[in-house]
Amino acid sequence: MDAGRLVAVVGRSGSGKTTLLNVLGGLDRPDAGSVRVADTEVTALDDDALSDLRRGTIAYVFQTFGLIPVLTAAENVGVPLRMARVPAGERQRRVATLLDLVGLGPHTEQRPDELSGGQQQRVAIARALAASPRVLLADEPTGQLDAETGLAVMALLRAVVESEHVTAIVATHDPVMIALADRVLRIRDGAVTESGTTS
């Protein structure tokens, strides 16, 4: 899959969407076979190498946001850059760029409890992009948002995929997200039953 593409993974609850994302990200190991992500065989990596992969190559966005409550929006976005020991000046510039990208430039000093659900998910997306990953895995990223906010977040994901040249794989039930995708994978009982491009 080329960079700058959005893939929707579709299926009923329990069909295996989350498991697929977890296997791609090295959180779960498959019972058989191998998994290759961004030219790396994930299944061959030990725990330290998997941690490195998740810090630099693969990033996650979850429906529960996962922000650190005591940190500001800017500090939350900067966490991956601190872990990577990015110099302070460069870190601040990257954080400012990402918060502007997700439309939260004026909210850098607000903490998660001062932000709406949609704004928190935007911070989570910015944080996921901080270390310039090649692959973004998103598990029902609009699942806790109302329809209007979810639509805005979906459009944002579509725009971010293109501007940051990242491949996004999104597990979703949402027909709008499916319509925004470049490719759709349908899963039933743990197996991909259909795939194709959207029209």
Q: What tens-digit pLDDT sequence spans the chain (199 residues)?
A: 678 899 999 988 888 898 899 999 888 888 888 888 888 899 889 888 888 888 889 999 987 888 999 999 999 999 999 988 999 999 999 999 999 989 999 999 999 999 999 999 999 999 999 988 999 999 988 888 888 888 888 888 888 888 889 999 999 888 888 888 999 999 988 788 766 665 4
N-term to C-term CA, the chain? 17
Residue 55 lies in a domain: yes
Residue 157 lies in a domain: yes
Residue 1 lies in a domain: no
Question: Residue 110 class from Cβ within 10 Å (0-12 exposed, 13-18 middle, 19+ buried)?
Answer: middle
Helix/strand/coil percentages in the chain, nearest 5:
45, 20, 35
* Count of domains observed in the chain: 1
* Distances from the Cα of 168 to the Cα of 49, 77, 86, 159, angstroms: 22, 18, 24, 11
Residue 128 lies in a domain: yes
Residue 187 lies in a domain: yes
Residue 80 lies in a domain: yes
Domain containing residue 119: CATH number: 3.40.50.300
φ, ψ of residue 105 in degrees (nearest 5): -50, -40
Beta-carbon neighbour count of residue 132 at 10 Å? 15
Q: Which of 198, 196, 172, 170 is nearest to 185 (CA)?
A: 196
pLDDT at res. 198:
57
Residue 193 lies in a domain: yes
Enclosing domain of residue 115:
6-197
* Collapsed DSSP state (helix, strand, coil) of residue 143: coil
Q: Which of 33, 36, 80, 76 is nearest to 54 (CA)?
A: 80
**Residue type (1 letter), 88:** A
Residue 34 lies in a domain: yes
